């Protein structure tokens, strides 16, 4: 039984998936490189209250109220003391690997839970 799971994992469908995820991880620094090149500020949609206020002229009340609720474990995808485009790009990739790893782990755990719930193992 275990051999068949390993065989399915090694199938070309999964290999293509992991190759695609790897390519996306390697391309992820474009999110910090391109805004830097074009002097366009931060990545689209990743604005904090300060950036929103610069763009719109005000901070929505609910955003202001909830903005302190969550602090990112790796703020701005950088590690303290890592400055410069190369180090920022490496930190961005590491952040992506950590994020993908967590999503994969949670997905596997949910899949195992649902399989047990349905009587499959």
Over residues 75-108, the pLDDT tens digits come to: 877 888 888 888 888 888 898 889 889 998 999 9
Closest listed residue to residue 77, CA positions, set 98, 50, 63: 98
- Give the per-residue pLDDT at 59: 93
Residue 26, pLDDT above cutoff 60: yes
Q: Are 87 and 32 in contact (CB under 8 A)?
A: no
Over residues 32-76, the pLDDT tens digits come to: 778 778 877 777 677 888 888 988 999 999 988 998 888 888 887
pTM for the whole structure: 0.62
- Give the per-residue pLDDT at 61: 92
Determine the longest span between alpha carbons in the chain, in angstroms.
61
What are the angstrom distances between the C-alpha of 117 and each of 1, 18, 78, 105? Answer: 19, 28, 40, 18
- Going from N- to C-terminal start, the domains of the chain cover 31-70, 71-121
Total residues found in the chain within this entry: 121
């Amino acid at each position: 039984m275990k051999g068949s799971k390993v065989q399915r994992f090694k199938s070309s469908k999964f290999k293509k998936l992991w190759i695609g995820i790897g390519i996306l991880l390697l391309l992820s620094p474009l999110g910090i490189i391109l805004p830097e090149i074009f002097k366009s500020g931060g990545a689209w949609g990743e604005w904090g209250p300060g950036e929103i206020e610069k763009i719109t002229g005000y901070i929505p009340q609910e955003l202001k109220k909830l903005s302190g609720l969550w602090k990112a474990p790796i703020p701005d995808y950088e590690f303290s003391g890592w400055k410069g485009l190369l180090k920022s790009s490496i930190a961005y990739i590491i952040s992506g690997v950590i994020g993908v790893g967590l999503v994969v782990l949670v997905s596997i755990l949910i899949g195992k839970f649902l399989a047990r719930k349905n009587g499959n193992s």
